[in-house]
Structure formats: C-alpha cells, structure tokens
Amino acid sequence: MESLGIPGRAGTGMNTELALFPLNQVLFPGGGTPLRVFELRYRRLLEECGKTHPFGLVRIRFGQEVGDAAFPFDIGCAAYVVQRIALADGSLAIEVVGDRRFRILSLRVEEDGLTRASVEWLPPDPRVAIPAHLKPVADSFSECGERLEDAGALAWRLAEALPMSLDEQQDLLEENDPSQRLHRVKDWLLRHPDDFVA
C-alpha cells in the first residue's frame, strides 16, 4: 500500500488540460471516494498524474464507465490520489480527494480511449458564514474530526453524506453561490426529514 501526501491546490492559471476519469458518480471539493482501476487507459492516467498532478473526475452524461469513451457533463472536480493499493488481480484500489471545480471547454479522445479536456478553473467559493440555525448540523461533523466553518464546505459535506440522486448532486456541483447551494441542501432536508439526524 502506498499513501500519498495531498499536494497543493490544482492550477493557479485560468485554463489547463486534464486527463478525465468519467464515472457514474459526483465528486465534491474536499470529498473523498474509493475507485477501482483496471483499464489500461486509466492506469496510464495514474502513471502520468503521479503524486502531484490532478486528473478530472466527471460524471457521465452519455455512455458507460467501461469500453468506448463516455461523454461527460461540463462541470467536474479535480482529483488527487491520496492512497493506492496494488491488488492481486493486477488492478489498483485508489482513494482520491476532490479539489477545485472546473468547466470543460473542449475534449479530445486518444487512441486508447483516454479522454483529455481543456478546462477552465471555476473560482473558489467566497467565505460565507454558516447560518445560526444550521450550526448544530455543522457541529455534528466535528464528531468525525471535521470542523466546518463556512456555508460552502457544509453544503459539500451534506451533499456527500445524504442519499441524493446523481442529478441533484450534479446540480449542486454546478452551483457557484455557496449560500444558494446550502439553501438547496436545506430544502432537500425539509423534503426528506428522516434522511439526516444532527
């Protein structure tokens, strides 16, 4: 097993190129997810990114995870590998953490099916205080060792923890206003009161 340190934030420039890993899931900034890597194109992606360079995790709009290149949604999240385990069958089990959001400007598919995108980084969230009535919800995350102090971060963590649909998660990923993002999560909680207990 190889544990990798989390490097600095993705890209300081406006535009850059990222190799893409299209999946039927949504990754949020600051969130983590395990992945199983067995296709050669994605093993190449990991070799290229190494310990310090991100790739783009994007939700699939059309297509499948395996086989021909899938067509992704426009907004995705940069991901860094923080843990990697080589399995007996030759595949890799990795853990990634989300960093900055990006918008895809153009796509190109390489011979082995690996997709690369020219992307622009979306601006980081402005710091917005958590409303007083949601402080108990934010405090509930401290039991897991995570201190949340702004509305944008709370919205991401709630969206990650709640059983939202992929469409709802994608809509939140695309929301640029952290206050509005948290408001939408709160509305979801009001419609599904039994799905979260602070």
* Tens-digit pLDDT profile for residues 144-166: 667 788 899 999 999 998 999 99
Question: What does the DSSP 8-state code read for residue 51?
Answer: T
* 117, pLDDT greater than 60: yes
| Topology (CATH) of 132-193 | Methane Monooxygenase Hydroxylase; Chain G, domain 1 (1.20.58)
What is the per-residue pLDDT for 143? 67
- The predicted model scores a pTM of 0.85
User: What count of other Cβ atoms lies within 10 Å of the Cβ of residue 116?
Assistant: 17
- Going from N- to C-terminal start, the domains of the chain cover 2-121, 132-193
CATH code reported for the domain at 2-121: 2.30.130.40
Q: Under a CB-based contact definition with an 8 Å cutoff, are residues 69 and 140 in contact?
A: no
3-state secondary structure of 78: strand
**Range of weakest confidence among 6-15, 124-133, 154-163:** 6-15
Element holding 49 (H helix, E strand):
helix 40-49
What is the per-residue pLDDT for 191? 87
Rounded CA separation 110/78 (Å): 20
